[in-house]
């Protein structure tokens, strides 16, 4: 094997398997093949060119700014936090270039708030050391809270929590599935990648964070940390003053068709249904992703409808919730509203899957019934009496009797 091939193989191994202290990237086979083609086609000068000097990232100023915002919104404790194993706020990713030469854009970070474990150094074989809150964004940073179990449940978690409180374990690193990304064209960073969309599946506490801006921020305030559901955690200061909320439900019938959805017409129909005497009733808020309870009589307080009115009933539209949630994510609505709406969409998608499965089973049964009904009487196996009669008829014809 030539020297250039050795360089390519080493670069590919680092790109696929990661580096010590690096983020944990879960590539699928197609993506791995794309990376292999990309790296194995690189010229030798791409590996021998002088690398761009890595500047020390002084994150003190940005962390101080975030702490000030969290203190203002009462998300950060002013002291050492709660007794026992207090929850701790971390900055888990930023767009800064990390030690692997990668950058992760905050607009593309997605996660499942119902299951986001906190591991130790990406060790997914061992039990998690904490449970994460739903991540949220402050400026260009993605933050999350590590909710440690009560003392005595896990000696390992107790040890990790103690190390965090003592300031000995301060770094954070993320594990994710890449969804969309751009391969580097920078000769000074030949194997770097810009991730424009990722699916966050865990984040880890580590002593050597890949992104040198990702550190512990401080203990979470009791009011915020007492929430046992990992949604709607710690609004930003501007969100804390926002009147927008999400009160939508997911129990209505579902329209699984691909029929077009008109948000303006659907909103008008919904408000008309819930305004029998010209006053908008509280029930209207169930069918919009974002409402403003402080002004319930104002039609502008109801935004991002996802249902339609049909036959006098309110029905959730598959096209409607996908279309409206996509618009909600691009809007300036508070992150808490978007997080709650995302959880609702997850429930609706799960119900949609069950409906489709039931429809397929029903169709299979109907096809089987039609097949049975299509079998004529003559196609059925002959009875014993019919076989004896056929044999007698054959003998008469054969022997002329």
Q: For residue range 23-69, what is the model confidence (pLDDT) as tens digits?
A: 889 998 889 999 999 988 888 887 776 565 566 566 777 778 887 77
Per-residue confidence (pLDDT) for residue 395, from 0 to 100: 72
The answer, yes or no, to whether residue 172 has pLDDT greater than 90, is yes
Domain count for the chain: 2
Residues forming a β-bridge with 200: 111, 176
Query: Worst-scoring range by mean pLDDT, 23-32, 85-94, 156-165, 335-344?
Result: 335-344
Residue 139 shares a structural domain with residue 97: yes
pTM for the complete prediction? 0.56
Residue 254 shares a structural domain with residue 195: no
Query: Worst-scoring range by mean pLDDT, 66-75, 149-158, 168-177, 191-200?
Result: 66-75
- Tokens found for residue 140: 């260009």
* pLDDT class of 234 with cuts at 50, 70, 90: very low
Q: How many CA atoms lie within 13 A of 49 on its CB side?
A: 13
Per-residue confidence (pLDDT) for residue 52, from 0 to 100: 59
What burial letters (b/e) apply to 387-397, b meaning 16+ CB within 10 Å?
eeeeeeeeeee
- Boundary residue ending a domain (208, 230, 252): 230
Residue 27 shares a structural domain with residue 153: yes
Higher local confidence (pLDDT), 369 or 128? 128
Question: 18 to each of 27, 169, 203, how far by Cα in Å?
Answer: 11, 21, 15
Residue 236, in any domain of the structure: no
* pLDDT class of 238 with cuts at 50, 70, 90: very low
Residue 136 shares a structural domain with residue 280: no
pLDDT in tens, 298-343: 999 999 999 999 988 999 999 999 999 999 988 888 877 887 888 8
Residue 166 shares a structural domain with residue 252: no
Residues 298/352, Cβ–Cβ less than 8 Å:
no
Residue 248 shares a structural domain with residue 226: no
Residue 203 shares a structural domain with residue 253: no
Per-residue confidence (pLDDT) for residue 226, from 0 to 100: 39
* pLDDT class of 93 with cuts at 50, 70, 90: very high
Residue 361, in any domain of the structure: yes
What burial letters (b/e) apply to 259-283, b meaning 16+ CB within 10 Å?
eebebeebbebbbebbeeeeebeee
What's the rounded Cα separation, in Å, for the pair 224 and 87?
10
Residues 69/89, Cβ–Cβ less than 8 Å:
no
End-to-end CA distance of the chain: 91
Mean pLDDT within 115-136: 92
Please compute Rg for the chain using Cα positions: 30
Residue 301 shares a structural domain with residue 259: yes
The answer, yes or no, to whether residue 224 has pLDDT greater than 70, is no
84: containing domain: 3-47+56-230
């Amino acid at each position: 094997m030539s020297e250039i091939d050795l360089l390519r193989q080493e670069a590919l191994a680092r790109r696929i398997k990661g580096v010590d202290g690096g983020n944990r990237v879960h590539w699928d086979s197609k993506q791995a093949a794309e990376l292999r083609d990309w790296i194995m086609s690189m010229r030798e000068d791409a590996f021998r060119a002088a690398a761009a000097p890595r500047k020390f990232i002084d994150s003190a100023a940005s962390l101080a700014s975030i702490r000030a915002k969290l203190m203002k919104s009462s998300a950060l404790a002013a002291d050492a936090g709660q007794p026992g194993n207090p929850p701790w706020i971390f900055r888990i990713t930023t767009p800064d270039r990390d030690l692997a030469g990668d950058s992760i854009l905050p607009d593309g970070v997605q996660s499942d708030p119902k299951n986001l474990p906190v591991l130790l150094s990406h060790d997914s074989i061992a039990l998690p050391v904490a449970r994460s809150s739903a991540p949220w964004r402050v400026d260009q940073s993605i933050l999350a809270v590590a909710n440690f179990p009560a003392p005595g449940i896990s000696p390992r978690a107790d040890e990790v929590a103690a190390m965090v409180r003592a300031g000995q374990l301060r770094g954070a690193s993320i594990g994710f599935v890449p969804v969309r990304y751009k391969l580097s064209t920078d000769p000074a960073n030949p194997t770097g990648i810009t991730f424009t969309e990722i699916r966050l599946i865990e984040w880890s506490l580590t002593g050597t964070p890949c992104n040198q801006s990702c550190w512990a921020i401080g203990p979470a305030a009791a009011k915020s940390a007492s929430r046992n559901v990992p949604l709607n955690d710690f609004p930003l200061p501007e969100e804390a003053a926002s009147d927008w909320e999400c009160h939508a439900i997911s129990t209505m019938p579902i329209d699984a068709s691909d029929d077009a959805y008109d948000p303006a017409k659907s909103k008008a129909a919904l408000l008309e249904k819930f305004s029998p005497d010209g006053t908008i009733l509280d029930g209207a808020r169930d069918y919009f992703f974002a409402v403003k309870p402080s002004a319930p009589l104002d039609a502008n307080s109801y935004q991002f409808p996802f249902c339609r009115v049909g036959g006098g009933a309110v029905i959730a539209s598959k096209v409607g919730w996908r279309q409206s949630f996509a618009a909600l994510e691009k809007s300036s609505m508070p992150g808490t509203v978007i997080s709650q709406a995302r959880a609702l969409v997850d429930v609706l998608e799960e119900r949609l899957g069950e409906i489709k499965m039931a429809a397929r089973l029903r169709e299979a049964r109907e096809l089987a019934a039609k097949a049975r009904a299509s079998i004529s009487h003559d196609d059925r196996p002959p009875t014993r009496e019919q076989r004896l009669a056929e044999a007698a008829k054959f003998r008469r014809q054969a022997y002329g009797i």
